[in-house]
Amino acid sequence: MMLPDASSVQSEIARFEAELAQSASLREAQAVRDRFLGRKNSVVSAWMQAIGSAPPEQKREIGRFANELKQAIESRWEQYQAAAAPVAPAGSVDVTLPGREPLVGHRHPLTIVRTQLEEIFTRMGFAAVEGPEVEDEWHCFDALNMPAEHPARDMQDTLYLASPIAGDSPADARTLLRTHTSAMQIRYMQAHKPPIRIIVPGRVYRRDDLDLTHSPAFGQIEGLAVGEGLSLADLKGTLLAFARQMFSPTVRVRFRPSFFPYTEPSAEIDLSCWQCDGAGCSMCKKTGWIEIGGCGMVHPAVFEAVGYDPERYTGFAWGIGIERIAILRYRVEDIRLFYENDLRFLEQFPY
């Protein structure tokens, strides 16, 4: 090989640029670069080797030429790459990248259950209405046949608030957090003539300590139908139709005698266990039955309180806890999980 000199530095640079200019693809350009800059068998590597075999007094100069050529070609190669594969300016979007999947939330399990309950009953002709959580004691207790000293008021103890609420409350009525949504059914009856068919979902409050199955604030859905000639059979048929849509098409309903001041007769609503079909399992605690709420025929005193003629109208009502249905539906072991907003729990209910 001829020993490099100043003019051969320039001519190699020119040759490199010409070959780069002629290459039709990045791959070809890469090959050109390798022929000039590659670790083996390239122009630069040959020049570096030439240092070793050159006469001692020329080693320095040849080393300088080799380095000049190497740096010149490296910088041209960098320029070429920058021009051939333009980097997106900062902040711009590369539309060829696959999209990032957005984090989509979903509804809370209690909302899912509440919506299912609403859908089932509205298909049966019940209108869903909501009422205030802050109520007066007349709508919450007195109108529901629970006068001032009635013991049922102790069983449904709640928080009493200092400020009165606006609206049609009696002047001396105290303000409280409602213990059931029945207060709204009273308001609805005051404002509408029979026949009526409503469900009232919403949050209610009771003096209770938080444990596996109780919470001082929980969701309820109550139903009320008033008309002429409504009977206990209508109540049972309505709840049976609900239970079969909500849990299993073969489920059976059992009424167990009970007491509520606002219904007569009154009953606890039991469903045949849809897991063992009544044979007895862990879900029904070996009883074959699962309690889901209470119900009854509206007490005549309630009709009198809202100005309905109790001789003319009859009606049925029921109350179901939303958490209770969700616990049964999803086999949740601790009611508190619904309130803690832990995504590890909530993400198990995609919907």
Nearer Cβ to ligand 2NL, position 77 or 185? 185
201 touches ligand 2NL (CB under 6 A): no
Nearer Cβ to ligand 2NL, position 109 or 261? 261
222 touches ligand 2NL (CB under 6 A): yes
Nearer Cβ to ligand 2NL, position 165 or 301? 301
Exposed, middle or buried by CB within 10 Å (0-12, 13-18, 19+), for 67?
middle
185 touches ligand 2NL (CB under 6 A): yes
Q: Which of 20, 29, 224, 230 binds ligand 2NL (CB under 6 A)?
A: 224
Q: Which residue is nearest to ligand 2NL (CB)?
A: 319
The nearest distance, CB 260 to ligand 2NL, in angstroms, is 5
Q: Which of 9, 225, 298, 327 binds ligand 2NL (CB under 6 A)?
A: 298
What's the CA gap between 264 and 314, in Å, rounded? 11
DSSP state of 138: H
What's the CA gap between 296 and 132, in Å, rounded? 24
The nearest distance, CB 172 to ligand 2NL, in angstroms, is 22
Looking only at Cα atoms, what is the longest distance across the chain? 128
What's the CA gap between 255 and 266, in Å, rounded? 9
Nearer Cβ to ligand 2NL, position 17 or 234? 234
Sheet containing strand 263-272, strands side by side = 127-128, 196-205, 217-227, 314-321, 289-298, 263-272, 253-260
Q: Which of 77, 141, 242, 260 binds ligand 2NL (CB under 6 A)?
A: 260
Which residue stretch of 98-106, 207-215, 218-226, 277-285 sits at the interface with ligand 2NL (rule: CB under 6 A)? 218-226
DSSP state of 167: S
142 touches ligand 2NL (CB under 6 A): no
What's the CA gap between 173 and 51, in Å, rounded? 107
C-beta separation of 260 from 231 below 8 A: no
319 touches ligand 2NL (CB under 6 A): yes
What's the CA gap between 231 and 238, in Å, rounded? 11
- List interacting residues with ligand 2NL (CB under 6 A): 182, 185-186, 220, 222, 224, 260, 262-263, 293-296, 298, 302, 317-321
